[in-house]
Amino acid sequence: MEKQKFVLLGLSGGVDSAVAALLLKKQGYHVIGAFIKSFSETKNKLTNECNWVEEKRMAQKMAAHLQIPFIVLDFEKAYTSQVIKPMIKAYKEGITPNPDIACNTLIKFPLLWKAARKLKADYIATGHYARIKKTKNTFELHQGRDKSKDQSYFLCELSRRDLSHTLFPVGNHLKSQVKQIAKKNNFPNYDKPSTKGICFVGNIPLKSFLEKRLRKKSGVVLNDRGQIIGKHDGAHYYTLGERVRPTIGINIIKGVSSQKRFYIAKKDMEKNTITVVPENHLLLKHSAFNLKKVHWINSKDKKIKLRAKVRVRHLGKLMPSVLKIKRGRLQFTLGEPASGIAPGQSAVFYQGTRIVCGGEISL
């Protein structure tokens, strides 16, 4: 008789990981639920209780409902040093990083696997909407079946080794199906809203999070002719392509603001100025970019010239592109100019539903 396989599952308190646990149990796995504590500063404004405590309570309740063992893993020290501090440093330098990708690559998957090995588990699992396909010689990362919930973008830096011992049980399901399964099985969290915001930090506006760590530095807002048309709270808070709104600390002079929507086209960190332009302005469009820190999931995909579709934000449009070495740098060129592309963000390349590679954008 084949030995029962053990899985250490990241049990967040959300419906996706809870359904993932149920699906694994039905497939014959012995499942251990692991709640990951990585950030303890965010609090519920109504109860003043730390968000992670609320999430842990729900995860524990789900483990009891599913009748699976439950443990808590404290990764906060590593998360602070490897994700939060580099993120703050990047914003200070005027770069917009992607902490969710760093969180998966540096914290969630390697440390969950380390804990799994200590428990002699065979696999780790999460509630991500992505799929892993095993071929004759390797493992491939693919988009989730539900294209509106696909999370493969955030997993672009996982390695073949990571994929070889990882399971994504909900990857072949639609979100609507996951909710139906949860409701049918009387899950106490079946109607719980999806988590938003920074990985492990929770649903907190990014600027509010940054303001606690980076001081405000009032500066002026310029139009494309260099004329002052407003004020802002500090160039380090903002991202190229971001829409200008008073709620993010950018105020445009009355009369000018009523004419059109503005978006951030340039940032001068030394002068602490930002330049804003109307939607579809040429300054917002880019067609060629450098790429650094490129990660290839399978080394066989490395080519002098790669044709693939690229996504420059989570669930953003998949755009035809060519990736090649030019003047000693890895550069990708789009079929047509696109807006909303910022240094520090990730460009992820797909061939069909399969992720080929991902890297950090450098303009």
Active site (catalytic) residues: 103, 199
Count the Cβ atoms, other than its own, within 10 Å of residue 218.
10
170, 130 contact by CB (below 8 A): no
Residues contacting 147, CB < 8 A, separation 6+: none
For 138-157, letters b (16+ CB in 10 Å) and e give ebbbbbbbbeebbbbbbbbb
CA angle 339, 242, 235 (to 5 degrees): 120
Residues contacting 228, CB < 8 A, separation 6+: 220, 221, 222
DSSP E strands in the chain: the ranges are: 6-10, 30-37, 70-74, 123-125, 130-134, 139-143, 166-167, 219-222, 228-232, 250-252, 262-268, 273-278, 286-296, 305-311, 319-326, 329-338, 346-351, 354-362
Q: In angstroms, rounded to a whole number, what is the distance separating the alpha carbons of residues 198 and 314?
A: 13
In DSSP terms, which residues pair with 37 in a beta bridge? 74
- Total residues found in the chain within this entry: 363
**Burial, 112: exposed, middle or buried (Cβ in 10 Å; 0-12, 13-18, 19+)?**
buried
